């Protein structure tokens, strides 16, 4: 199997690249194109065409996206390009070269008012990011009708810097000791990037075997955590003071974040076999340990 992973320098893409080890695989990066990755601007049809024309992959996985709220606010056109235009262009490229496409989307396409959500539940995004992810799904379907879309919840895994994920940033706030209020209403289901990547690997194999999976699938871990409970988990696990962390409801009150987007995932294990679902409560602390104090050595 020949594969191209777009966005292989990111949190999920790095895990997907590892999961595809042993296959003939090309990973792309953009600003972080080190370690053998090919630099591709996924908002450039020419860049995509050049790579796919050269590699002629059987399967393409699109992990490109922009999920940093500060970037949505400061450069919305660029952020939209990375979430929507890139999805369309990659889908058009995959379609032209006859590759099967697995496109990564988000639980934020839902409004969080009627969990659990099935793959055929009606999306109703509350914020700009969710609307972009939904537009991307629609563009992918139009450009590549046999594409598969995998929706995932918030991810965690080994990070390259503390702010790379919101969850590691919460842990850093616990260690920093400064007063902070964290939302205790909106529940998320943090999922290990390696588990999501294993789903991608099996999904890609199933697509190539012609297995019928449906055009949209969901994958998620099972434990629900608010930001506040995530902070308490870290404080307890490392015996750190937690008095500076207050429970709030800012995210819920803003109306911009869904309260509960739990994804109904029962279809995938039935189709792909049992997939590991790491427990956030035991797997997250080791991931964030290097970031709790600034003097600890950095690991990746």
Ligand X SMILES: NC(=O)c1ccc[n+]([C@@H]2O[C@H](COP(=O)([O-])OP(=O)(O)OC[C@H]3O[C@@H](n4cnc5c(N)ncnc54)[C@H](OP(=O)(O)O)[C@@H]3O)[C@@H](O)[C@H]2O)c1
* Nearest to 221, CA basis, from 201, 196, 197: 196
Write the CA distances from 34 to 30, 38, 193, 216, 238, integer angstroms.
9, 8, 20, 32, 33
Options 36-44, 114-122, 258-266, 270-278: segment touching ligand X (CB under 6 A): 36-44
4, 7, 72, 284: which one binds ligand X (CB under 6 A): 7
Q: How far is the CB of 168 from ligand X (least distance, A)?
A: 11
C-alpha separations of 134 from 75, 110, 137, 149, 213 in Å: 19, 9, 5, 11, 20
Q: For the CB of residue 130, give the shortest distance to ligand X in the complex, in Å.
A: 10
Beta strands 180-183 and 245-248 are parallel
CB of 176 to ligand X, least distance (A): 22
How many residues sit close enough to ligand X to count as binding (CB under 6 A)? Answer: 27
Query: Which listed residue (4, 19, 60, 65) binds ligand X by CB under 6 A?
Result: 65
Pick one of 4, 9, 111, 231: the residue that binds ligand X (CB under 6 A). 9
Q: Any contact of residue 82 with ligand X (CB under 6 A)?
A: yes
Residue from 155, 186, 199, 216 binding ligand X (CB under 6 A): 155
What's 81's DSSP letter?
I
Tokens standing for residue 1: 């199997």
Q: Which of 20, 67, 79, 139 binds ligand X (CB under 6 A)?
A: 67
Task: With CA atoms as reference, report the closest residue to 108 among 188, 226, 194.
Answer: 188
Q: Does the footprint of ligand X cover residue 29 (CB under 6 A)?
A: yes
Give the number of other CB atoms < 10 A from CB of residue 247. 15
**In angstroms, what is the minimal distance from the CB of 205 to ligand X?**
20
Residues contributing to the site for ligand X (CB under 6 A): 7, 9-13, 29-33, 40-43, 63-67, 82, 86, 104, 106, 152, 154-155
């Amino acid at each position: 199997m020949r594969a191209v992973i777009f966005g292989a320098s990111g949190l999920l893409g790095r895990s997907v690249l590892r999961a595809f080890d042993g296959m003939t695989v090309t990973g792309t990066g953009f600003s972080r194109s080190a370690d053998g990755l090919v630099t591709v601007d996924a908002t450039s049809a020419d860049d995509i065409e050049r790579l796919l024309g050269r590699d002629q992959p059987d399967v393409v996985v699109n992990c490109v996206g922009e999920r940093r709220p500060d970037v949505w606010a400061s450069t919305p056109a660029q952020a939209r390009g990375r979430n929507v235009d890139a999805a369309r262009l990659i889908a058009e490229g995959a379609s032209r070269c006859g590759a099967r496409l697995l496109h990564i989307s988000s639980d934020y396409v839902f409004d969080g008012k009627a969990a659990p959500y099935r793959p055929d539940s009606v999306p109703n995004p509350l914020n700009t990011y969710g609307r972009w992810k939904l537009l991307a799904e629609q563009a992918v379907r139009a450009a590549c009708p046999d594409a598969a879309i995998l929706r995932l919840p918030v991810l965690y895994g080994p990070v390259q810097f503390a702010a790379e994920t919101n969850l590691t940033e919460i842990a850093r706030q616990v260690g920093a000791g400064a007063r902070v209020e964290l939302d205790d209403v909106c529940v998320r289901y943090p999922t290990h990037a390696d588990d999501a990547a294993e789903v991608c690997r099996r999904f890609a194999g199933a697509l190539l075997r012609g297995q019928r999976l449906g055009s949209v699938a969901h994958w998620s871990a099972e434990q629900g955590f608010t930001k506040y409970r995530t902070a308490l988990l870290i404080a307890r696990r490392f015996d750190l003071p937690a008095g500076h962390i207050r429970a709030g409801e800012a995210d819920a009150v803003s109306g911009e974040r869904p309260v509960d987007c739990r994804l109904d995932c029962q279809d995938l294990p039935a189709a792909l076999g049992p997939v590991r679902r790491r427990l956030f409560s035991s797997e997250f602390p080791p991931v964030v340990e290097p970031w709790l104090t600034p003097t600890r050595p950095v690991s990746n």
